[in-house]
Amino acid sequence: MQVDSFSKIQLAIFDCFETKIPKINKKDAILYKLRKKINKKEADVRKVTEKNSEKILFEYNSLLEQLERQRKESLNADIPSFFNECAGKAKEISKKGLPTNIPSLKVSHPTKFIHGLSPYGGVYVTTNLGYKNYYLTTESLQSDYYDLSHRNGILITYSRFLMFKIDNETIYEKIEKNDYAWLSEFSRSKAQLQSWQDGLSLWVAKTEDIKNASRLKQTYFPLSDGSYHITAPLFSSSICQAIYDKVRFSTFSQENKKLRAAKNNNKYAEGVLVEYPNFAIMNFGGTQPQNISAGNFERHGEAFLLPCSPPHWQSNLKPPITKVSLYEDEFDRRAWKIAKELQLYLAKLQKKKGNMEIRNHVTQLVYQIIDALLGYVAEIHSLEAQAGWSESDCKLKVSHQIFLDLHRKDEQFQLDRASGEWQKEVCKDFGLWLNKKLESKTMVFAKIESSHWAKLLARQLREFEHDIKRAKEVSA
């Protein structure tokens, strides 16, 4: 593809429109659609064979030529149109000249991470290169990353544009410095250039001008004079981004994928494999991550949480190979105390009529037993070195084997596990086991009770299995 006809700045803006801006004036952006087609075709080119090479390469080169032509057209159409739209939107929002009418704010700690309905805003903490404290804080990051908090999620396209970099400097930072030289390559007149400058300058504002406390979490810190100081802890999008970049690199980079594959196949590979085990994923914004901040949208609403639990002593835990049911032996010992508490509670209420309070308390105790069960199962799952332990001399029910032997390398076994049919028997057996634990000389439980216990487990088990599937997808 010929690029000599375009300047460095033009190529940078093209890249922005081809990767960040899917729509202009509510219409699909042609550059964005073309780049998606080219990326898809590049994957085909990598898999090209002698049989289809001529056709695929012709289609690929045709797309590149089409992109070249469209770029030239966009210099006179789509790009100026977007700059008009972006400048006009800022003027529209800021027309009253009030602090609350500022379109976006440069922040390191956006308020909306604490509560999605809190006013947009936050604080901006700059990096201190001379920072020597041993605690990890936003100030200690050797990064100039910042987030953009905007009035409304509808503004996400403009925020993404403002965070795009030209010559290692974001467009937002260029506007902060009154650097508009790059705009001159797209304007047709001095009047148009001035209009863009006037509008784009309105996107930049200091966070100090914004006051917001609604729905923020407040902590009262005691002082020596008996009074209290109120602090409002804020979520650091900067630290979140730093962790996100590292975890994503370790999980999805081609370099690490090759090293991980070599490790799994017990082969030598040159390099350092970086892994972050047992991390959790926290979501912000649900299906609308752009409502929180621009950075949250770029991270797909995900924040990676690293484990901070103390180290555990090496366990002697072994899979229950000699047992018929997973509810025997080890799990039974772990759960008996809560089961006994539930039995005594029900015994006291035999002659009382059930009410909402009683039902809720019983449900909570059963959920505690289920938590103990899933905790035990998770420990069995962690015995990856013993994967496939259920393949020989195992007396467990097949459904219980499928539940517990998570890492067994057996295609049919994994297909059976993915079907989820085994869950019915596992839940049914749990109901029967709990009925038996609760029975006494004065209390006998029927099938309806065991079915209720089974349903309670089924709900939790679905979430448990969903988390396992999600973890596998992330680490794949």
Output the pLDDT for position 475: 65
Mean pLDDT confidence for 244-270: 89
For residues 122 and 238, give the distance between their C-alpha atoms in angstroms, rounded to a whole number: 12
pLDDT-wise least confident of 56-65, 207-216, 236-245, 282-291: 207-216
Confidence of residue 313 (pLDDT cuts 50, 70, 90): low
Higher pLDDT, 53 or 412: 412
CA 128 to chain centre: 28
Report pLDDT digits (tens) over 200-230: 999 987 655 455 566 788 888 999 999 999 8
**Model confidence at 1: pLDDT above 50:** no
pLDDT-wise least confident of 121-130, 250-259, 274-283, 327-336: 121-130
**Model confidence at 98: pLDDT above 90:** no
**Model confidence at 351: pLDDT above 80:** no
What residues form DSSP beta bridges with 303?
282
- Phi, psi dihedrals of residue 105, rounded to the nearest 5°: -135, 140
**Model confidence at 272: pLDDT above 80:** yes
Coil vs helix vs strand at 110: strand
pLDDT-wise least confident of 263-277, 287-301, 328-342: 263-277
Confidence of residue 395 (pLDDT cuts 50, 70, 90): very high
Using alpha carbons only, what angle is made at residue 26 by residues 20 and 32, rounded to the nearest 5 degrees? 30
| Structural tokens at position 363 | 């449900």
Beta-carbon contacts of residue 255 (< 8 Å; ≥ 6 apart): 271
208 sits in the region (left: phi over 0; alpha: psi -120 to 50; else beta) called alpha
**Model confidence at 476: pLDDT above 60:** no
> Any idea what DSSP says for residue 290?
G
For residues 249 and 245, give the distance between their C-alpha atoms in angstroms, rounded to a whole number: 6
Higher pLDDT, 216 or 83: 83
Confidence of residue 97 (pLDDT cuts 50, 70, 90): low
Stretch (H or E) spanning 85? helix 78-94
Output the pLDDT for position 105: 87
Output the pLDDT for position 161: 94
Confidence of residue 355 (pLDDT cuts 50, 70, 90): confident
For residues 153 and 105, give the distance between their C-alpha atoms in angstroms, rounded to a whole number: 13
Taking the alpha carbons of 242, 248, 251, 253 in that order, is the dihedral positive or negative?
negative
User: What's the number of CA atoms in the CB half-sphere (13 Å) around residue 224?
Assistant: 0
CA 234 to chain centre: 19
Mean pLDDT confidence for 156-170: 92
Output the pLDDT for position 2: 46
Mean pLDDT confidence for 55-60: 86
For residues 472 and 329, give the distance between their C-alpha atoms in angstroms, rounded to a whole number: 29
Counting DSSP H helices and E strands in the chain, the numbers are 16, 12
**Model confidence at 265: pLDDT above 50:** yes
Look-up: residue for tokens 């909306």?
112
271 sits in the region (left: phi over 0; alpha: psi -120 to 50; else beta) called left
Q: What are the C-alpha distances in Å from 417 to residues 251, 331, 447?
A: 25, 21, 27
- What pairing do the DSSP bridges indicate for beta strands 27-28 and 165-166? unpaired
Confidence of residue 128 (pLDDT cuts 50, 70, 90): low
- Phi, psi dihedrals of residue 104, rounded to the nearest 5°: -150, 160
For residues 97 and 268, give the distance between their C-alpha atoms in angstroms, rounded to a whole number: 64
Mean per-residue pLDDT over the chain, rounded: 87
Look-up: residue for tokens 């680490």?
475
Return the closest-CA partner of residue 250 out of 270, 273, 225. Answer: 273
Look-up: residue for tokens 């899917």?
22
Output the pLDDT for position 100: 57
Coil vs helix vs strand at 23: strand
Output the pLDDT for position 96: 60
For residues 146 and 295, give the distance between their C-alpha atoms in angstroms, rounded to a whole number: 8
Output the pLDDT for position 321: 92
Dihedral Cα 338, 339, 343, 344, nearest 10 deg: -30
Indicate the domain borders of the chain. 8-74, 241-305, 330-475
Give the highest mean pLDDT range of 94-98, 275-279, 314-318, 370-374.
370-374
**Model confidence at 360: pLDDT above 50:** yes
For residues 373 and 379, give the distance between their C-alpha atoms in angstroms, rounded to a whole number: 10
Mean pLDDT confidence for 181-208: 87
By percentage, how much of the chain surpasses pLDDT 70? 92
**Model confidence at 232: pLDDT above 70:** yes
Rg (the chain; Cα; Å): 30
Other beta carbons within 10 Å of 213: 11
pLDDT-wise least confident of 75-79, 122-126, 310-314: 310-314
User: What's the number of CA atoms in the CB half-sphere (13 Å) around residue 355?
Assistant: 5
CA 429 to chain centre: 35
Mean pLDDT confidence for 153-166: 92
Output the pLDDT for position 245: 92
pLDDT-wise least confident of 85-94, 141-150, 424-433: 141-150
pLDDT-wise least confident of 279-288, 305-314, 393-402, 446-455: 305-314
- The secondary structure of the chain in percent helix, strand, coil, rounded to multiples of 5, reads 55, 10, 35
